Every structure is written in structure tokens, then in C-alpha cells.
Structure 1
Amino acid sequence: MYQQMIFVNLPVEDLAAAKGFFTELGYAIDARFGDESTAAVVVSDTIVVMLLTRSRYADFTDKRIADATSTSEVLIALSAESRSHVDALVERAVAAGGTASEKVQDLGFMYGRSFDDLDGHTWEIMWMDPAALDR
């Protein structure tokens, strides 16, 4: 079966800093799909985050580009394999210069935390107990 991919395109102020941030989180940069104004962050086999300088991002839209530090333009949610993986990724994000939200969602069967990256894009990291899906 064909595995559809998602490419999340995000505008960034400082491409080098953004690349460094995501590599600190453990993600690889695929140099085949980048240049001086773009970088491809490989999150999984089917998820790639394209970091684009604001000027390069503007090539793809006529709309005003949101300032994610003051306006929410998207919430990017990623699954994690366990509660401890949720915590570990958020802690790595903070150590790399991101900002953690103080809100923790703990419903027992679902656990989540979030952080903002260097450009203010919000990333929600969630774990859900697979057994809860069978109920």
C-alpha cells in the first residue's frame, strides 16, 4: 500500500539555528532537499519538516506570513511511544533553546506536553495507551 507523506513547511528566521535545534532533538537533515534557504528535517519515513527562510517561504504564498511567536498558525502534533519519550523530547527541545508549555495533559490513557521551537511554532508531543483504543 502506498504510504502518503506529509511535508510541513515552516518559515524560520535563522536557518542554521533552526537546523541545529532540530538536530539537537535527534532528527536528521536530508541535505539532498536543501540549499542556503531550505532544509529538510526527517521526522519519520512519512513526515518531513521543510524549514524555509522567510523570504523563501514567501515564494509559495501571497498571504502575510504569521509571526508564530505572537500568533498561532498551526499546532503540530507528533506521537511518542511512551510517556517518558514525551518528557525526553520536550526536555531536549528546552535544552536546545525551545520553550516548554507549563500545561501538561494527563488523562491516564493519554499524556502530552508541548513546546515552541526557536521561531515560536508549537509542537505537541502525545502518547496514547494503545489498549485504550480497544475500549
Structure 2
Amino acid sequence: MKPRINIVTIGVDDLERAFGFYRVLFDLPDEQISAGEDHVAFFLEGDLSLVLMERASLAETVGQGDAARGTAQVVLSHNAESPAEVDTILSDALRAGGSVHTPGTASEWGYAGYFEDTEGNLWEVLAG
């Protein structure tokens, strides 16, 4: 895995309120913002994006079920070159002592899996 962070996803309780805050704070043109039913993405400088996602959707996406206290608040994402690289990185995370929350799975966004490091921090590995 080439160590890089491409996307930071944070869980929010009120998507509309959080969107309003970051829209004013970042002052980005509409072309650098994308919204879905449960998330908003801000495309920042370089190859970095900040995604706001409803906390319940984030917990479900990473395989944590209900959005109870202690579920994902932040997910760091790494863009892989291919689905095979996603699977390799997930295997490496297991070998290093982490755990896989969600194995590599195809979705509308590409092929992704989620792992947890030894300290409980969540990572998404995505091949779009």
C-alpha cells in the first residue's frame, strides 16, 4: 500500500446543518461539491476530498450496524488501483494485526472494503 489519504469521511447528525457550515467555511464553487441522499462531498486541493455522511449511513456502510455511541465518527480512505489491490491491502491489514469489517465488495461507487487498525481506527480501501 502506498500510504496516502484521498478521502476523509466524517459522521454528522444533521447533514443539512453540516453542509451549510462547510459550504460557507470552504467557499467552493458548485463544481467542487457533490451531494447524494445521505452525504455531501467537497473536492479539495490535490487529490483530497472531505465527505460528510449521516452518522447512521456511515455506521451501516462500514459494517457497524446501528449508529450507537462508539461507532465510526471518521473514516480515512485510500484509493487503490484495482479490486485486486483492495483485497491485497485488506489481507495486509489482517496480517499486521488489524481486522476486516467489510471484505472487498462491489457497489455503486466501485469496489471497496473496510478495515480497522489495532487501535480501532477505520479505513476504507476503494478502487473506483
Normalised TM-score (structure 2): 0.44
Larger radius of gyration: 1
Normalised TM-score (structure 1): 0.42
